[in-house]
Amino acid sequence: MSLNELTIHDMRSRLAAGEVTSVEVLEAVYDRINVVDGTINAYTSLMKESAYEAADRADRDLKDGRLKPLSGVPVAVKDILCTEGTRTSCGSRMLEHFIPPYDATVIRRLKEAGAVFVGKTNMDEFAMGSSNETSYFGVTRNPWDRDRIPGGSSGGSAAAVIADECIAAVGSDTGGSIRQPAAHCGVVGLKPTYGRVSRYGLIAFASSLDQVGPLTKDVEDTAIMMNVLAGHDAADSTSVPHPVPDYRENLSRGIEGWTVGIPREYFIEGIDPEITGAIDGVVRTMESLGAECREISLPHSQYCVAAYYIIAPAEASSNLARYDGVRYGFRSSGGETLLDSYKATRSAGFGAEVKRRIMIGTYSLSAGYYDAYYKKASQVRALIKTDFDDAFRTCDVILTPTTPTPAFRIGEKVDDPLQMYLTDIFTLSINLAGVPALSLPCGYSTAGLPLGAQLIAHHFREDKLIQAAAAVESRLPLEKRRPGI
């Protein structure tokens, strides 16, 4: 086994045993990147210099007997999180040369935990997309099939994890951007409760929906990452001062006696039968673990796509107004007047999907349309949240597919925004409700593509997600495969 294939917990025990050094693991990671990333395109930039410094420091710490939660662990960071001194592009021409003078809070927390940042990962432009095809830096290819998309928008992070171009990664999820690529790449991805993880320094797409979370090789690593990421941040007024449990304690508790809800609205026409089959396998596994799986209803599910594609673009249209070429970022030389300059800069600096969403959002917030669109969507959102509140009165967790199909082909949906939007149909509600959800690998299609199961829990019950996912992971008859690149 090559060192870059290690999980966080494996690496930790080997570091503790003195069998490997952080620098050796980091070298293996960069060797791997050298070999495969020309094809995969998971990274938009590498941070070799600071990474080796950090790895070296971790090794010295270890010699002094200090082993932090993520000491020396090579972590890939989605290029939406601000990193002081390192270009943070958000997948956009607009920020192609933007170097933030500050770290995102999660970056600071990861640093303090000893993490080593390998580089910044590719993503859909401003996180708007489900395939990494809208990135200004070119599409990321799915390590399982290079003609297919890795999912998005955290496609670079998911691909880097499964291609062993890092040990673990962080991404962000506004409507499925961690879970959908996790499912398509066969890794574990967790979208925490809204407010659980600080958004400070996370470049905003839709502020009321965005959350940062981990993408890892297994559930134990998810628990380790969440121990570091979660917690209140005074710089983010929407983060919550709830105590953070040690999520590792839930890894081996099992789910005996639990009630698992299976929402009938998620088993719709058009869903790939191989996915339904894999979810059936998860149901059987959970039952074998002593849980009761029962059909439930989340009656407003059908409205989630409509509500999401009003609220998210509305917030985006406002969040992206700051990219005007005046203070930082791309500025077009065209334009005689101020208005011309704005138009030229924003026309050339943003890609088509971003512009589409800015226009949708601007329209739905306009005088005379606000009540019909934004306000109505907010009311629907409240109903969707109530659906979950009701379900969690009886259920410990809810189980659904993460995506309706396995990874689709590059170019297949790029010209059909509506088809593209529908690929997130199972993940959007979760962000609207603010609840946490996790995507867990649960099988492979006959074509050899990974399939994902989504577990959903009530607000701030990430512990339950980790407990259920760890139990399923340990029992699911799933051969460990690796993509052959």
Partner 1 sequence: MEYEPIIGLEVHAQLLTESKIFCGCSTRFGAAPNSNTCPVCLGMPGVLPVLNRKVVEYAIKMALATHCRINRVNSFARKNYFYPDLPKGYQISQYAEPLAEKGHIDIEYDGTRKTIGITRIHMEEDAGKSIHEEDGDSTYVDLNRTGVPLIEIVSEPDMRGPAEGAAYLRRLHEILVYLEICDGNMEEGSFRCDANVSVRPRGTETFGTRTELKNMNSFRNVQLALDYEIQRQIDCLEGGGTVIQETRLWDAQGRVTHSMRGKEEAHDYRYFPEPDLVPVVISPEWIDDVQRGLPELPLEKRDRFVREYGIPPYDAGVLTASRALADYFEEVAKGTGQPKTASNWVMGSVLAAVKEEKIEIAEIPVSSEALAAMIAAIADGTISGKIAKDVFDDMWRTGKDPRVIIEEKGLAQIDDAGAVDAAVDEVLIAHPAQLAEYRAGKEKLFGFFVGQVMKRTQGKANPQIVNDILKKKLLKQ
Task: Please report whether residue 314 would count as binding partner 1 according to CB under 8 A.
Answer: yes
Work out the end-to-end distance of the chain between its first and last CA atoms, rounded to an integer number of angstroms. 16
Task: Please report whether residue 63 would count as binding partner 1 according to CB under 8 A.
Answer: no
Residue 30 or 374 having the CB closest to partner 1: 374
Given the residues 177, 317, 341, 439, the one annotated as active site: 177
Task: Please report whether residue 237 would count as binding partner 1 according to CB under 8 A.
Answer: yes
Burial class (CB in 10 A: 0-12, 13-18, 19+), 64: exposed
- Helix locations, 320-451, DSSP H: 338-349, 352-365, 376-391, 417-422, 428-433
Task: Please report whether residue 315 would count as binding partner 1 according to CB under 8 A.
Answer: yes
CA angle centred on 349, ends 348 and 354, rounded to 5°:
105
Minimum distance from residue 229 beta carbon to partner 1 (Å): 16
Residue 321 or 447 having the CB closest to partner 1: 321
Q: Tokens representing 322?
A: 């700051």
Number of residues that bind partner 1 (CB under 8 A): 44
Task: Please report whether residue 234 would count as binding partner 1 according to CB under 8 A.
Answer: yes
- Residue from 81, 161, 262, 414 touching partner 1 (CB under 8 A): that is 81
The kind and range of the H/E element at 261 are strand 259-263
In the 8-state DSSP scheme, what is residue 371? I
Residue 82 or 465 having the CB closest to partner 1: 82
- Residue from 38, 65, 101, 270 touching partner 1 (CB under 8 A): that is 101
Beta bridge partners of 292: 259
Minimum distance from residue 79 beta carbon to partner 1 (Å): 11
- Residue from 7, 45, 50, 208 touching partner 1 (CB under 8 A): that is 208
* Contacts of residue 27, Cβ cutoff 8 Å, sequence gap at least 6: 3
How many angstroms separate the CA atoms of 119 and 45, rounded?
A: 6
The kind and range of the H/E element at 351 are none
Q: Would you call 78 a catalytic residue per the annotation?
A: yes
Task: Please report whether residue 398 would count as binding partner 1 according to CB under 8 A.
Answer: no
Task: Please report whether residue 370 would count as binding partner 1 according to CB under 8 A.
Answer: yes
Of 191, 204, 203, which is closest to residue 230 (Cα–Cα)?
Answer: 191
Instruction: Identify which range of 116-124, 360-368, 379-387, 468-476 contacts partner 1 by CB under 8 A.
Output: 360-368
Determine the 3-state secondary structure of 94 from DSSP: helix
- Catalytic amino acids? 78, 153, 177
Residues that bind partner 1 (CB under 8 A): 80-82, 88, 90, 95, 98, 100-102, 104, 199-204, 206-208, 234-238, 314-315, 317-318, 320-322, 324, 326-328, 338, 342, 362, 365-367, 370, 374
